[in-house]
Amino acid sequence: MAPLLNWYDFDPFHDLYHWLDKHVESWVVYLVAAVIGSAGILTFVGLGALVNVWLERRLIGRIQVRRGPNRVGPFGLVQPVADAIKLIQKEVLQPDAADSRLFNLPPIIVFIPAMLTFAVFAWAPDLVLANLDAGVLYLLAISSITALAIFIAGWSSNNKYALLGAMRVIAMMISYEVPMVMCFLAPVLLAGTMSVAGLVQWQQHHFLLAAFVPMSVLIYGLSATAELNRTPADIAEAESEIVAGYHTEYSGMKFGLFYAVELINSLAVSGIMASLFFGGWWLFGVEKVIPAWIIFILKIYFFYFGLIWLRGTLPRFRIDQLMGLAWKMLLPLALINVAVIATEVLIWQEADLGGWVLAPYAVVNIALTAALVVVFFRIVTARFYRLPTRVILVRDIQVPALPAPASSALRPPTPLPQ
């Protein structure tokens, strides 16, 4: 088995690295590693975008009691290719009054953060393209670039719907960055590192962070849908309201790029979720049997499935409700979360307790999260359950006595002239 395991464990790359390290300058090693790693990530992302098109359409079809694409190739598997060919063939329109220099930029810019996110993921124990010291902060920083690209798209289209979409994105991004930073703080505090690989390693030694910081998982899950513009937070491209939001004026492959980036970003967010809270490549020792990177990809797709499920299930929030959710619900919860975790870490370190203390922490945190979420949820939704959600049934016509209409409505009949 061992030689078979070798090639897909990427061990030859390790050997290559060590061999290069002995023979050439360090920056050449760095360059080679960067090129190979980027190529690998680009391959994964490119394939992922294609797979996701099929997966998303197929699964949404399942959710919606229909079949989804099933004509092109077996199970419709070649459908993404057909889609891409169609999009490439379409005419790329550009509005006359668009800011043409800016108009062509966003489809390219949105790709940058989507791709960059994958650089810090730990795909396997020693397989990190860029093990950044401030990896978590890096994830947050580059995610803000997406919103800028979307803003440029909305602004340069010179379309009112697009501008509305862009304004919504900017407002939403500012709001959701705050709870997101806060919810990342908790695992960072607990693990004592900001590197994504470090967080995964910590989880390998202890347990899934999701058990200790369940609140962060919830907050990140919600913020991520907002960050991704997927339902229930797809207000930036809300089809029924502002047509297609910021990409209303993009057609052909320019739209295709936006579409692909949305799918890639979904993968990226799933990857963040998997690495930060659900152990990355680590899975209770299974990673010794199955290559770790396969476990990681499976985890990514598990959370991606969750995103598809959400999209197939939920209606959309209104923009002010979404803002309210961020500021009034997620931010207080995140602050409470950080306070609790900080206290726990303090007790853990000051009292010099062993690793066993994490077990009661997990219990306490899960219970606290459940209680807080239920309480907040009750408070927020009480307004909607003020009235029953079922109708009144009456047997017969009954028109209630109404307040007398305004004087102009009822005039005495004018007598006919004699």
For another protein, the binding residues in 84-143 under the rule CB under 8 A are: 99, 101-102, 132-134, 137-138, 140-142
Residue from 78, 170, 294, 368 binding another protein (CB under 8 A): 170
Q: Which is nearer to another protein, 148 or 345 (CB)?
A: 148
Q: How far apart are CA 341 and CA 334, in angstroms?
A: 10
Radius of gyration over every alpha carbon of the chain, rounded to an integer in angstroms: 26
Residues forming beta bridges with residue 122, ordered by sequence position: 128
Q: Which is nearer to another protein, 27 or 284 (CB)?
A: 27
Residues 221 to 240: which contact another protein by CB under 8 A?
231-232, 234-235, 238-240
304 binds another protein per the rule CB under 8 A: no
189 binds another protein per the rule CB under 8 A: no
- Residues that bind another protein (rule: CB under 8 A) add up to a total of 84
Query: Using omega within 30 degrees of 0 as the cis cutoff, is the peptide bond preceding 388 cis?
Result: no
Task: Give the shortest CB-398-to-another protein separation in angstroms.
Answer: 5
Taken as a whole, the chain contains a residue count of 418
Residue from 285, 354, 388, 415 binding another protein (CB under 8 A): 388
DSSP state for residue 352 in the 8-state scheme: T
Residues 6+ apart with CB under 8 A from 371: none
A 10 A CB-CB count for 170 gives 17
21 binds another protein per the rule CB under 8 A: no
301 binds another protein per the rule CB under 8 A: no
151 binds another protein per the rule CB under 8 A: yes
DSSP state for residue 233 in the 8-state scheme: S
Residues 327 to 386: which contact another protein by CB under 8 A?
377, 380-381, 383-385
Q: Which is nearer to another protein, 405 or 413 (CB)?
A: 405
314 binds another protein per the rule CB under 8 A: yes
CB 270 within 8 A of CB 300: yes
With CB under 8 A as the contact rule, which of the stretches 19-27, 271-279, 294-302, 363-371 interacts with another protein? 19-27
Residues forming beta bridges with residue 128, ordered by sequence position: 122
Residue from 319, 329, 338, 362 binding another protein (CB under 8 A): 319
Residues 194 to 223: which contact another protein by CB under 8 A?
194
CA dihedral 74, 75, 78, 82 (to 10 degrees): 120
State residue 412 phi and psi, 5-degree precision: -65, 145
320 binds another protein per the rule CB under 8 A: yes
CB 235 within 8 A of CB 319: yes
Q: Which is nearer to another protein, 192 or 360 (CB)?
A: 192
State residue 44 phi and psi, 5-degree precision: -60, -45
Residues 60 to 89: which contact another protein by CB under 8 A?
60, 63-66
